[in-house]
Amino acid sequence: MKPSQSIVSRAPGRVCLFGEHQDYLSLPVIAAAIDRHIRMTATPISEQILQIEMPDVGQQREIPLDSPFDTLEKRDYFGSAIRVLRRRGFSLPHGYRIVVTGNIPINAGASSSSAMVVALLRLLHELAFPGKILDREELANLAFQTEVLEHNEPGGMMDQFTISLGNVVHINTENFTFSTLCESLNGLVLANSGIKKDT
């Protein structure tokens, strides 16, 4: 990759149309990706770090490439994503500046965290394995591992599957088969009340 080259990854938020929290119980759900996204842009740097910038929330972070992540801070999805991908041979020859932006409301039930995880995994995979296609279902499973299993959190797989697959999907969460119902729901309006959800 040339020094000036950037890689961009983005992932949508989602809304649940039928079966909110039913994926926890292995029951079917219908959910849709929305036209609000988390976007990540990675640019090569000479330092052996991931330099994370999140201007929307006024946060920055530096992650040395050799960080072991033997333990994880609560909801440290950068750490858990790296742990999950290392099991697949993930490594980087040099550091990157990663700028994270988005227009998904935070803590509003539109899955901004899951969108960030999916965008991050797609980005890191492309940086480590350029040109190697990551299947959407495989991406969803990696996102579930990163967001839920690595942190021993309760949760189903509706968010990760809907965001990774896109479109409007019916998911049988008992055996995690899925089908695309349609590409979009024209005329659907999603409003943000501004009231933070408590989960």
Averaged pLDDT, 65-92: 96
More confident residue, 2 or 87: 87
pTM of the model: 0.92
C-alpha 31/C-alpha 10 separation (Å) is: 19
Q: What pLDDT, on a 0 to 100 scale, did the predictor assign at position 44? A: 98
CA 62 to chain centre: 19
pLDDT bin (cut points 50, 70, 90) of residue 1 is very low
Assigned token pair, 189: 């309006």
Range name among 10-19, 77-86, 102-111, 146-155 with the lowest pLDDT average: 102-111
C-alpha 22/C-alpha 86 separation (Å) is: 31
Whether residue 58 is predicted with pLDDT greater than 60 in this model: the reply is yes
Q: What pLDDT, on a 0 to 100 scale, did the predictor assign at position 73? A: 95
- Per the CB < 8 A criterion, the answer to whether 152 and 131 are in contact is no
Assigned token pair, 70: 């033997």
Mean pLDDT of all residues belonging to the chain: 92
Chain segment 86-124, per-residue pLDDT in tens: 999 999 999 999 999 999 988 888 899 999 999 999 999
Q: Between 77-86 and 112-128, two packed helices, what is the crossing angle to 10 degrees?
A: 40
Q: Which CATH architecture best describes the domain 7-12+36-160?
A: 2-Layer Sandwich (3.30)
DSSP secondary structure letters along 119-167: HHHHHHHHHHSTT----HHHHHHHHHHHHTGGGT----SHHHHHHHH-S
pLDDT bin (cut points 50, 70, 90) of residue 4 is low
The pLDDT > 90 percentage for the chain reads 74
Burial of 40 (0-12, 13-18, 19+ CB in 10 A): buried
Q: What pLDDT, on a 0 to 100 scale, did the predictor assign at position 197? A: 64
What does each C-alpha distance from 122 to 25, 54, 80, 109 come to in angstroms? 28, 18, 14, 22
pLDDT bin (cut points 50, 70, 90) of residue 199 is low
DSSP letter at 87?
T
